[in-house]
Amino acid sequence: MYQSPVSKRRIIFHVDMNSFYASVEMAKNPELRGKPLAVAGNVEERKGIIVTCSYEAREKGVRTTMPLWQARKLCPNLVVVPPDFETYKIYSSRMFQVLQEYTQEVEPVSIDEGYMDMTECERPLEIAKEIQMRLLNELKLPCSIGIGPNKFLSKTASDMKKPLGITVLRKRDLAKKLWPLKVGEMHGIGKKTEEKLNKYGIITVKDLAEAVDYELKHRFGINGIKMKERANGIDPRPVDPSSASDYRSIGSSTTLSEDLVSVTEAENVFKKLADKVTARLKAKGYVALTIAITIRYSDRKTITRSKMLRNATHRQEEICKTALDLFRRHWNHEAVRLLGITATEVIEREHATYQLDLFSVEKNEKDALLHDVMSSIERKHGEGIIKRGKN
The H or E element spanning position 263 is helix 263-284
Collapsing DSSP to helix, strand or coil, 141 comes out as coil
- CA 171/CA 380 separation, integer angstroms: 44
User: What are the b/e assignments for 83-99, b being 16+ CB within 10 Å?
Assistant: bebeebeebbeebbebb
Residue 246 labelled as part of a binding site = no
Residue 325 labelled as part of a binding site = no
Active site residue 113: yes
Residue of 105, 113, 318, 345 marked active site: 113
Instruction: Report the sign of the C-alpha dihedral through residues 273, 276, 282, 285, in that order.
Output: negative
**Which residue from 200, 125, 203, 202 is spatially nearest to 157, judged by alpha carbons?**
125
The H or E element spanning position 324 is helix 316-330
Residue 317 CB partners (closer than 8 Å, separation 6+): 274, 367
Concatenate the DSSP letters of all residues of 8-35 into one string.
PPP-EEEEEETTHHHHHHHHH-GGGTTS
Cβ–Cβ contacts within 10 Å for residue 384, how many?
Answer: 8
Asked if residue 341 lies in contact with residue 273, where contact means CB atoms within 8 angstroms, the answer is yes
Give 3-state DSSP helix, strand, coil % of the chain, rounded to 5: 45, 25, 30
Asked if residue 147 lies in contact with residue 12, where contact means CB atoms within 8 angstroms, the answer is yes
The H or E element spanning position 114 is strand 113-117
Residues in a beta bridge with 15: 114, 145
Q: What are the residue numbers of the active site?
A: 113
Could you list the residues known to form a binding site, using ranges: 16, 112
Could you list the residues known to form a binding site for Mg(2+), using ranges: 16, 112
